[in-house]
Structure 1
Amino acid sequence: MKVIVIGGSGHIGTYLVPMLVNNGYEVTNITRGQHKPYEDNSGWDKVKSIVLDRKSEDFEKNIAEQNADIVIDLINFNINDTVNIAEALKKTNCKHYLYCSSCWARGLADCLPFKSGEETGTPLCAYGKDKLASERYLCEQYKQNGFPATCIRPGQISGAGWDIISPWGNLSKEPFKRIAKGEEIYLPNFGMETIHHVHAYDVAQVFYNAVTYRENALGEVFEAACGASVTLYGYAKLMYEFFGKEPEIKFLSWDKWCEYEGNAEECEHTYLHIARSGCYDIEKEKQLLNYKPKYTNIETIKLAVQSYIDRGLI
């Protein structure tokens, strides 16, 4: 079967594209040509690449002309783009459209863990609102018109080779550097908010399994998660242990912590992560997609931080 992966050279595609190729799918990677996969795999030798920019006027037309059986859309951030690609694919041989949503499609949590696919309040940012709008549109199109859509919500995608969310709830490497030296760090509030790291391999696994178990996946919204989260405090403590240092963890109120952190953009990033304090139930994914996470969140964190060390970033 012919598969198009839009944005296949990124975090998810690094693992998803070889999974597809090695299982007999004919894969075309749609890319802007600006990135290479994070890991080498011989499967990429069999992949056809087409350089296209989603901003181009004829993007959807070019995708539709490929007449693929399956389209996996990993870089769709706008409801208008979702509508446009769905309308274009309705005129083709497409039997399955898989949309990459986000855990940011959720609002504030009432109870944890979140149940798979449920909606929880208003998303906290424009990015999340667009993701939720796209989910609603695609689920409606499946129910009303039979458009073969599946939506998948990754948690905080992590792994070796790229930046991950730190114990400060943002992408700053500063807490890792201070912890590695045995210095004290301050966390916001009481450090009880949670972060959900999920290895990109396991996110790719959810997409691949949704392709494999198509009949179970159509019209559904799934979580691409590992099933566990870590508190900011637990994360910081883990890092002190990782670097062989005694924990030196203190706390500040939110306003005081933002002054301490010192970067307004990073503090906004922290808020958008910890205000949700996500933790995601994955029983639905296990039952319908035979999903079996390869990595725990703790294993994923350690792999990513070791990668920082190996690359001389800490």
Structure 2
Amino acid sequence: MSRVVVIGATGHTGSYLVPRLVRAGHEVVAVSRGERTAHQERPEWGAVERVVADRKDEDAAGTFAGRIADLRPDVVVDLICFTPDSARQLVDALRPSRPLLLHCGSIWVHGPALRVPLTEDEPRTPYGDYGLGKAAVEALLHRETLSGGVPSVVLHPGHISGPGRRAINPAGNMDADVWRRLAVGEPVALPALGMGVLNHVHADDVAQAFERAITRPAAIGSSFHVVAEQAMTSRGLATGVAAWFGRRAELELVDWPEFEERAGAEHAAVTREHIERGISASIERARSVLGYAPRYTSLEALHGSLTWMVANGQADVGGQAF
């Protein structure tokens, strides 16, 4: 088995990934800022070597990448790289030993979809700092692999959900009151005829894809979408959530100005950013090359998030059982 260094190990995806790697027999080094423990605290963490490092500060000082290389990894799983400069530092430090580098990208390397389901070969048209940064990192890593340098695999998750993380709600934003309204039967406003598409994925399914990529040499040099089996519309998600509470979703389909007035400018902006891409990402490549088999549907991933949010005081469902 391999010596695997996981950067961002106590974050949402890392909390699911690290125990998986230990169970698979890997020697695991968990790198994090040390500000929190994994929210999925399991016995496997007792077998993990822990390293405290603040990537932002150490990248600025030019020391972080060297620290990772000094850990002598066979595999590096990078869950928290957002800029090409950060990726370049890491690649330069790893080039002498050439471990396998797995990078967590995002389906937001895509802009508005022109064809669906969207494949990984679609031309990149990102926008916004996050999408632009992830697309630039992806391009850098693929160039590095093609040149004979550090071998890499890029995994592009959708909207990561499940216990331990607040989920994007059916309206496409983080307004916790949307969950309450669906639970108690109050009207919920949706723009774009409720047909905006959201592509969720459970964090454990993301972890599954990373685990499988470690042992799939054919994956090197490629990118893979990691999402639930099917994307869903806002209307479909709202209908499904309401059904958990034995209700029919009371949906009011409104135009964008009215939606902004009712949701507030901040929530409306997040909704627009999420649904205007219309991404329904294909997982055929991940299925055939990685053997990726998502366990959770979009609604199941949301159910896990909402259960956790209610238990941790981050959402109110009006006392309704679900």
Normalising by structure 1, what TM-score?
Answer: 0.95
Q: Is the 1:107–1:120 Cα contact (8 Å) retained in structure 2? A: no
CA distance in 2, matches of 1:129, 1:76: 13
Tell me if structure 1 keeps the 8 A contact 2:191–2:256: yes
Q: C-alpha separation between the residues in 1 aligned to 2:125 and 2:224?
A: 18
**Matched position secondary structure for 2:21:** helix
Q: Deviations over 1:115-154 (max 9, x none)?
A: 1x22344212111011111111111111122421111100
* Paired position in structure 2 for 1:107: 111
Which residue of the partner structure matches residue 33 of structure 2? 32
Answer yes or no: is the 8 Å Cα contact 2:29–2:49 preserved in 1: yes
**For residues 114 and 77 of structure 1, what CA distance do their matches in structure 2 show?**
22
Which of 144, 157, 160 lines up with 1:157 in the alignment? Answer: 160
Aligned position for 2:242: 240
Listed as ranges, the gaps of 5+ residues in structure 1 are none
1:1-314 → structure 2 map (5 Å cutoff): 1-55=2-56, 56=58, 57=61, 58-92=63-97, 94-115=98-119, 117-213=120-216, 215-262=217-264, 264-312=265-313, 313-314=315-316
Aligned equivalents of 2:232, 2:69: Cα separation in 1: 42
Partner-residue secondary structure (3-state), 2:29: strand
Paired letter, 1:99 = H
SS in 1 for 2:194: coil
Distance 1:289 1:178 in 2: 40
Deviations 1:71-124 (A, max 9, x none): 1100001110011100110023x4200111111111110011111x22344212
Secondary structure of the corresponding residue to residue 189 of structure 2: strand
**Contact 1:124/1:272 (CA < 8 Å) preserved in 2?**
no
Q: CA deviation at 1:309?
A: 3.4
In 2, the alpha carbon distance for the partners of 1:120 and 1:165 equals 26
TM-score by length of 2: 0.93
The alignment yields a C-alpha RMSD, in angstroms, of: 1.3
Paired letter, 2:93: A
Contiguous gaps of at least 5 residues in structure 2: 317-322
- SS at 2:22's partner residue? helix
Distance 1:298 1:179 in 2: 14
Tell me how far 1:298 sits from its aligned partner.
Answer: 1.9
For the Cα contact (< 8 Å) 1:179–1:239, is it kept in 2?
yes
Runs of 4+ more than 4 Å apart: none
How far apart, CA to CA, are the structure 1 residues paired with 2:306 and 2:193? 24
Distance 1:268 1:246 in 2: 27
Change in Cα spacing, 1:75 to 1:271, as seen in structure 2 (3 Å) is same
Percent of aligned pairs with the same amino acid: 35
* AA of the residue aligned to 1:91: P
SS in 2 for 1:40: coil
Provide the secondary structure at the position in 1 that maps to 2:127: coil
